[in-house]
Structure 1
Amino acid sequence: MDSENSDGMNRCADYIHTIDKTTKVAVLSNETYGIKTKKRNRQFVTEMTPPQFENIDDFSKYIVINKLGEVIMVTTWKDNKGNDWHDDSKMVQEKIVPLL
Structure 2
Amino acid sequence: MKIAMKAAGIAAALALGACGGGADDQAADNIEAMTENRADALEDQADMTGNEQAEDALEDRAENVRDMGEDKAEQADDNDDANVENQVANAM
TM over 0.5: no
Q: Compare the two structures and name the one with the higher helix fraction.
A: 2
Give the strand-richer structure, 1 or 2. Answer: 1
TM-score, scaled to structure 1? 0.31
- The one of the two structures with greater contact order (alpha-carbon pairs below 8 A, sep at least 6) is 2
Higher Cα radius of gyration = 1
